[in-house]
Homo-oligomer: A and B are copies of this chain.
Amino acid sequence: MTSTTPATSAALVGLAPHFGDRLLTSAAVRDQHGAAESWLPAAAPDAVVMAQSTEEVARVLAVCHDHGVPVIPFGGGSSIEGQVLAPKGGISLDVSGMDRILAIHAEDMDCVVQCGVTRQRLNEELRATGLFFPVDLGAQATLGGMASTRASGTTTVRYGSMRELVLGLTVVLPDGQVIRTGGRARKSAAGYDLTHLFVGAEGTLGVITELTLRLFGTPEAAQSLLCSFPDLDAATACVVAAQHCGLGLTRIELADDLQMAAINAWCAAALPETATLWVEITGSDPAVGHDVALFQDLARDAGATRIEPAATAEDATRLWRIRHEALYANRALRPGIKGISTDVCVPLSRLPDCIAAIKTEIAATGLVAPLIGHVGDGNFHLVLLFDPADPQETETARTINRRLVELALSMGGTSTGEHGVGLGKKAYMEAEHGPALDLMRRLKRAVDPRGIMNPGKIFDL
């Protein structure tokens, strides 16, 4: 942490009368807000302000704008690439208390929520309507944070990511001005797409305080399957074939042999320790029946050695619970040590090459690095386990992370499919975007001329 600057002190003096005990400067709270869910070194803010409304967010930003003090928006604190760290000090603006569901428009299949609502909370509230919000990721993330990092997850192959599902936003601009972008209409051709400017901006252009989101009807039928393949090539060939047939794939997830071994150990399971697909197909009863049969044919054609359809709903729940245990299973592979949880996304046809190339490099280093991913999108994760006390191993993990990004970019892919840039992927923005990065900088300067919003994230100015 940097020592509190005179500007920050002045801003805190300005904010204290309004926020009282919701302005926190204890080391414990600051440390909690400046710790990353990742390998990145912690960096605590000078203070934490708990905001409860758009007006309060506007007040914080107006004061910090006047004083030139950094503001780091904080939701669930689950971002992976250091998005909530405060390497330049300033104020962590915690909006997790803004957790009201403002409207559910069942007939229009949309809702309006405050930024601190988690996707789990929203889906609980929606249950009675027969509707749901599909973005499904591992963390207890807030919807504002998910929009800010352009989050996706297991269901993106069917429903899209936050990029596709946010219809509109309320945003507080760096100077405290409140704007609304988009709206409740399903489409609009009325001017610049400001919604997409803020989705994925990681809080560097303003603070998202409310979101209008698309909802979907719960499908009539669902069938999950677990399919084992001799190798990753065979598994991805099956995915390509299924995509081309337009099957009703709602989820299609890939794990490698090491990941399956980790899962077996952690869950006391006995699944084949080979390339594996988790699949969920949804739709009407006859559609699911047809698509499941066709998928099984395609899987067999691709060389599947075992296909296990979930026999009951409980069975399906168990299959997907095991999938979601992957993160913990990986940590248990080498207890007490750190992991770089990295992700890239490539065109689907390049996925086998990309995976094969990085696995060869990993094998040469002896690093333990299980692979799991949202393979229908060409997106996968590696968890690069390393002992931070071992400089050589630390360096190896970082090198593999860099090599993975280089491979993905060389194959027409991106340095991150869903975790975002934060601090962890900043070094690759020049290589990925070229001169377009300068345009991003120009936009940043235009929207946040004083540079107070989450400074140092995504790119340096």
Contacts and interface: CB of A to CB of B under 8 A. Distances in A.
A127 interface: no
A433 interface: yes
A169 to B, nearest CB: 10
A190 B418 CA distance: 8
A150 interface: yes
Contacts of A130: 244
Interface residues of A, number: 96
Contact of A179 (B185, B287, B434): B434
A187 B377 contact: yes
Interface string A191-208: 111101101110001000
B107 A414 contact: no
A379 interface: yes
Interface string A391-428: 00000000000000000100011111111110001001
A194 B107 CA distance: 33
Contacts of A322: none
A221 B290 CA distance: 13
A434 B107 contact: no
B347 A194 contact: no
A82 B99 CA distance: 44
Contact of A348 (B108, B196, B415, B420): B108
Contact of A185 (B160, B173, B191, B347): B347
Contacts of A201: 192
A179 to B, nearest CB: 4
A193 B187 contact: no
Contact of A443 (B149, B192, B199, B458): B192
Contacts of A436: 179-181, 194
Interface of A: 105, 107-110, 130, 149-152, 156, 160-161, 163-164, 173, 177-181, 183-194, 196-197, 199-201, 205, 216-217, 219-220, 240, 243-246, 248, 283-287, 289-291, 294, 345-349, 377-379, 408, 412-421, 425, 428-429, 432-437, 439-440, 442-447, 458-459
The 9 closest A-B pairs by CB, nearest first: A287-B287, A196-B196, A446-B446, A188-B414, A286-B286, A179-B436, A107-B349, A185-B345, A108-B347
Given A107-B349, A164-B160, A246-B217, A191 B287 contact: no
Nearest to A432: B190
B197 A197 contact: yes
A436 B434 CA distance: 29
